Amino acid sequence: MTKTDLENTPDRRWANTLTEYLARYNITLGENPRILNIGCGKNVTWNFLGVLFYLASHDLGFPDYVGVDVTEEAFGDGKRALGDLVTFVPCDARDLGNHVKGPFHLVIIEHPNLSTSPEGPRIWGKIFQEAGELLDDNGVLILTSFWLNDHIPAQIALERCHYRILYSGRNQFPGRRFDTSSSGEPLVMEKYILLARKGTRRIGPQDRQQ
């Protein structure tokens, strides 16, 4: 394994991503921030370690980190690896507010599957709404995608929920290429990234989708 390989592990990439993009948009986290990872799957382990690197290098202590996914199986490997370091909540995130208490300073959504079904954008739109209600007023939501088919609808859905997009585009710290789409697009872990804050207009019951 080369030095470059060691610097390009997913946890290192997450630490670099947080360092670069939070600084670029003057976003500061307080000590022991609350962090919510929605649709966390088993890759939650890498994100959690990346967050730890970031917090340690900024003297910000230890996070109160919550990982949510639909079923226990979805985050089973992550739970076995991380144990009590993370609070795992099995639930449909469309109903997040009834399972998790805010506010959170950082909401992470890695590779939400908006394009898997025609209902995808609507499902995730509802999840983004719920997340907005749990996001601290000074907090930030970071969403990554491995192809444009998820990235663009995610941005549209966030804007519909009145988030203010700070950045949308290629991630400076992408991961490995794992496939190619039928149209020839290389599918790459964390290829695109979105940073969003709550907009000035409050997300409220009037925005609820049924």
Choose the stretch contacting ligand SAM; rule: CB under 6 A; options: 109-117, 133-141, 178-186, 195-203.
Answer: 109-117
CB 52 within 8 A of CB 20: no
In angstroms, what is the minimal distance from the CB of 193 to ligand SAM?
A: 13
94 binds ligand SAM (CB under 6 A): yes
Q: Is residue 58 at the binding interface for ligand SAM, with CB under 6 A as the rule?
A: no
Q: HSE, CB side, 13 Å, CA atoms: give it for residue 126.
A: 13
**Cα gap 154→124, rounded to integer Å:** 8
The dihedral region occupied by 90, where left means phi > 0, alpha psi between -120 and 50, and beta the remainder, is: beta
Whichever of 27 and 74 has its CB closer to ligand SAM, that residue is: 74
Within 174-193, which residues bind ligand SAM (CB under 6 A)?
A: none
Does residue 159 contact residue 105 with C-beta atoms inside 8 Å?
A: no
How far is it, in rounded angstroms, from Cα 199 to Cα 176?
33
Least distance to ligand SAM from the beta carbon of 62, Å? 22
105 touches 34 (CB < 8 A): yes
What is the C-alpha separation between 17 and 54, in angstroms, rounded? 9
113 binds ligand SAM (CB under 6 A): yes
CA nearest neighbour of 44 among 7, 76, 2, 9: 76
- Exactly one of 64, 92, 159, 185 binds ligand SAM (CB under 6 A); that residue is 92
Select 27 or 36, whichever has its Cβ closest to ligand SAM. 36
Confirm or reject binding of residue 40 to ligand SAM (CB under 6 A). Answer: yes
Name which position in 33, 41, 63, 139 contacts ligand SAM (CB under 6 A): 41
If binding is defined by CB under 6 A, does position 10 make contact with ligand SAM?
no
69 binds ligand SAM (CB under 6 A): yes
Which residues make up the interface to ligand SAM (CB under 6 A)? 39-41, 43, 68-70, 74, 92-94, 110-113, 123, 127
